[in-house]
């Protein structure tokens, strides 16, 4: 840690691992319902998989080309090899902590009479059950591979679990053989509930253990009598290289990249530490893995991400509160009528996502609507948004969809959406070279009395009705002519990007990336610095997913040294050193990990008592500020502005699920004001719900406590 302190910023990847430790803390928290603790272990595991697929893979590439001075290399300030070594040490520590937490959870499960059993601990009825299950469901879905007889080692899929099997005879009369079985969890799921002796007991077995039990049947042909099997998985480089071949289209490049991703270079090999040593050496040789190639010995169970879907067999149930309708939209038959009259801010997941879909549905059938334009980054698998757009085309509207084909891990799904939309007559835009489209915006054009009016929305989150139930985001439904004029300018740029960025630079209300946001943020921070030096109130409250841009961090350091009061709510990556004796007012930096994934970006600048409040799709990262189209939107309605400030104040008061973001990455829980417990996600729900019922506000301390709520099942 002493070496860490020599740097101006915390290394991004080390900070990310610290964030994942906060996820692990939720799994360790005994106050969290047991099933949700298991899910947090699954979220932690899924996060780690993606970290290795993307970040570790990138660092390994950088290490291979460490002689070259790349911008990324300079940004890291230390060698990729050094960071890879630090990652290895931190991951091993976290894996040990993970195993301890899982062991404790297993004990708690048994107290609730929930047993995760192996193939060696089955009664006679259960043995017969899994034999039947294997014959009826599993056998036809597995293809054992005798890997020693295959000249070219079979391709091992990322995210799959494999059983490495050793076949032998006790008397030594036959040479040992190695085999490989892919566990078909994609098809059959991972968990099978077994018959139990009593009604109040639940016995669950993993699919790989059903296969283990039936190894003798699988390999009966060979005449062996002893079988050993150990689980392992391979994590591969998931980066898609987009080459500069002008003879191929972006779609062809992405399709090629997806094929290459499936065969990406292994960056991690996770295996049962009890694995037969000869089998391990054999697998390493055939996979061309060296000891340094992130070999991760572990326990018997791998691919813990599946545990996000652990069967709901526990007595203590979560009580997630259902989203409710925004009060301005309760008594109206048409969302559009309200939006044309005044701004409406939806706060997900507290407010229902349905008004967004309803507004698009209304536009699809409104004879006066001529045009709908919308950006889509990550969509739900059965997207109601897409259905409304298809319906709009069938009703004669001109529909344009900016579909970002390079949304990581959604590339394949977005290619399929593109084909469907184009088949229906939708105009699909597929992006700009070297720039991702990450803005969440919608423009609807309507003709009334020969006059065109614009309305739509600007959001911090994806247009995904599924994640809107678990992601904390803000969506402004508006017909403000200044905002919508800028939304129109952004779409003009997306459609005519070859003509340059003049459309983006012409924005007057919205602050777009990559042309303007960095400059405007520096100006607003500089204004607060000037106010502080003039002994006037100077404040900033900033909420985002990640803060890693070094230029803006330097500016925050300058502001803190000048006496600006800085409050930060950062869910994930946080590369700033928040503690420094030269800061006149200590920086308050927290992270909240709880029921919902805090996904919103909100920027509040004091501006000498006339607060400037913005919602944004952009984090303060180089990729967002300089290499993406993003939209940062001012909140002009005073009621909504006050509401957003109130929500962030509640989060800053959290002393249940907030952690301090300190220089040492200790993730200590924020325990100030112990006499009044403030769990911000519950308090925000009650604050907004109370306003919906009564049109009044309450202080957090006046809000009655409600029971614990079920945790999100998605990736953090």
Which active-site residues does the annotation give?
438
Q: Crossing angle for the helix pair 680-694 and 638-652, nearest 10 degrees?
A: 150
3-class DSSP state of 205: strand
Distance from C-alpha of 527 to C-alpha of 608, rounded to nearest angstrom: 9
120 contacts: CB under 8 Å, gap ≥ 6: none
Phi, psi for residue 190 in degrees, rounded to 5: -100, -25
Identify the DSSP state of 135: I
**Residue 509 CB neighbours (<10 A):** 18
Compute φ and ψ for 178, nearest 5 degrees: -110, 140
d(CA 642, CA 519): 26
- Cα 694 to Cα 200, 244, 691: the distances in Å are 44, 59, 5
Map tokens 């350091």 to a residue: 557
Three-state DSSP at 397 gives coil
Q: Name the E strands within 367-487.
A: 369-376, 398-403, 427-429, 436-437, 440-448, 451-459, 471-478
From CA 403, how far away is CA 251, in angstroms rounded? 12
Provide the H-helix boundaries in 326-373: 335-341, 354-365
Query: In the structure encoding, which two tokens stand for residue 210, read together?
Result: 């059903």
Residue that has been written with the tokens 């949700």 in this structure: 36
Query: From the CB of residue 244, how many other CB atoms can be counted at a distance below 10 Å?
Result: 7
**For residue 88, with 0-12 CB atoms within 10 Å meaning exposed, 13-18 middle and 19 or more buried, which class applies?**
middle
CA dist 186 and 183 (Å) reads: 8
Give the Cα separation of 384 and 387 in Å (integer): 5
Q: What is the SS3 assignment for 201?
A: coil
Angle at 553 between CA 550 and CA 558, to 5 degrees: 125
What is the edge-to-edge ordering of all strands in the sheet holding 266-272?
A: 177-182, 162-168, 226-236, 266-272, 295-298
**What is the DSSP pairing of strand 114-117 with strand 202-206?**
parallel
Q: What is the DSSP letter of 460?
A: S
DSSP state of 110: H
- Parallel, antiparallel or unpaired: strands 266-272 and 295-298: parallel
CA–CA gap between residue 588 and residue 617 (Å, rounded): 23
Tell me the Cα Rg of the chain: 27
In which region does residue 519 sit, left (phi positive, over 0), alpha (psi from -120 to 50) or beta (all else)? alpha
Contact (Cβ atoms closer than 8 angstroms) between residue 253 and residue 245: yes
| φ/ψ (deg, to 5) at 642 | -60, -40
Query: Could you identify the residue written with the tokens 């230029």?
Result: 551
Query: What is the spatial distance between Cα 526 and Cα 453, in angstroms, rounded to a whole number?
Result: 37
């Amino acid at each position: 840690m002493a070496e860490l302190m020599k740097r101006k910023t915390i290394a991004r990847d080390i900070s990310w691992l610290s964030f994942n430790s906060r996820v692990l803390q939720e799994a360790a928290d005994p106050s969290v319902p047991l099933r949700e603790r298991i899910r947090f272990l699954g979220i932690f595991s899924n996060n780690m998989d993606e970290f290795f697929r993307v970040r570790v893979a990138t660092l390994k590439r950088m290490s291979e080309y460490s002689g070259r001075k790349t911008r990324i290399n300079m940004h890291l300030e230390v060698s990729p090899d050094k960071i890879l070594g630090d990652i290895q040490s931190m991951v091993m520590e976290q894996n040990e902590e993970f195993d301890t937490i899982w062991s404790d959870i297993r004990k708690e499960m048994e107290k609730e009479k929930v047993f995760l059993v192996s193939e060696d601990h089955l009664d006679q009825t259960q043995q017969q059950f899994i034999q039947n299950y294997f014959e009826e469901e599993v056998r036809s879905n597995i293809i054992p591979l005798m890997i020693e007889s295959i000249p070219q080692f079979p391709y091992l899929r990322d995210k799959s679990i494999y059983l490495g099997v050793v076949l032998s005879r006790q008397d030594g009369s036959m040479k040992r053989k190695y085999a490989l079985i892919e566990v078909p969890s994609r098809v059959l799921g991972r968990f099978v509930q077994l018959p139990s002796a009593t009604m109040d007991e639940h016995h669950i077995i993993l699919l790989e253990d059903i296969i283990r039990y039936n190894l003798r049947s699988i390999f009966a042909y060979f005449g062996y009598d002893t079988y050993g099997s150990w689980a392992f998985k391979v994590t591969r480089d998931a980066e898609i290289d987009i080459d500069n071949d002008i003879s191929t289209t972006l779609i062809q490049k992405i399709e090629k990249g997806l094929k290459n991703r499936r065969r990406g270079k292994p960056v991690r090999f996770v295996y049962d530490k009890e694995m037969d040593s000869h089998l391990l050496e054999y697998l390493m040789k055939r996979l061309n893995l060296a000891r340094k190639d992130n070999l991760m010995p572990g326990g018997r169970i791998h691919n813990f991400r599946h545990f996000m879907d652990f069967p709901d067999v526990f007595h203590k149930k979560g009580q997630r509160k259902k989203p409710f309708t925004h009060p301005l939209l309760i008594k109206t038959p048409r969302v559009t009528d309200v939006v044309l009259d005044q701004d409406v801010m939806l706060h997900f997941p507290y407010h229902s996502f349905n008004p967004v879909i309803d507004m698009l549905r209304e536009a699809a059938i409104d004879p006066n609507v001529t045009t709908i334009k919308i950006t889509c980054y990550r969509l739900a698998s059965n997207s109601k948004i897409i259905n409304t757009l298809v319906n709009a085309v069938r009703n004669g509207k001109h529909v344009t969809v900016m579909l970002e084909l390079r949304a990581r891990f959604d590339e394949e799904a977005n290619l399929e959406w593109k084909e469907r939309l184009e088949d229906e007559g939708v105009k699909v835009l597929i992006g700009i070279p070297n720039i991702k489209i990450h803005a969440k915006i919608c423009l609807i054009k309507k003709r009334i009395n020969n006059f065109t009016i614009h309305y739509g929305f600007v959001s911090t989150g994806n247009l995904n009705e599924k994640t809107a139930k678990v992601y904390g985001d803000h969506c402004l439904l508006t017909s403000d002519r200044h905002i919508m004029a800028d939304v129109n300018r952004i779409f003009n740029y997306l459609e005519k990007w070859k003509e340059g960025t003049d459309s983006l630079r012409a924005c007057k209300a919205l602050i777009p990336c990559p042309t303007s946001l960095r400059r405007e943020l520096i100006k607003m921070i500089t204004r607060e610095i000037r106010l502080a030096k003039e002994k006037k109130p100077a404040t900033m409250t900033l909420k985002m997913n990640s803060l890693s841009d070094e230029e803006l961090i330097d500016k925050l350091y300058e502001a803190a040294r000048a006496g600006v009061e800085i409050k930060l709510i950062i869910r994930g990556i946080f590369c700033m050193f928040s503690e420094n004796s030269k800061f006149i007012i200590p920086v308050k930096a927290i992270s909240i990990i709880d029921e919902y994934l805090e996904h919103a970006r909100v920027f509040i600048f004091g501006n000498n008592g006339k607060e400037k409040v913005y919602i944004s799709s952009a984090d303060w990262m180089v990729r967002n500020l300089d290499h993406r189209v993003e939209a940062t939107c001012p909140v002009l309605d005073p009621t909504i502005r006050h509401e957003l400030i109130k929500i962030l104040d509640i989060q800053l008061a959290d002393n249940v699920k907030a952690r301090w973001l300190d220089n040492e990455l200790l993730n200590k829980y924020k325990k100030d004001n112990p006499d009044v417990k403030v769990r911000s996600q519950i308090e925000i729900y009650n604050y907004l719900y109370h306003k919906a019922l009564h049109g009044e506000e309450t202080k957090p301390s006046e809000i009655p406590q409600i029971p614990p709520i079920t945790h999100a099942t998605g990736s953090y």
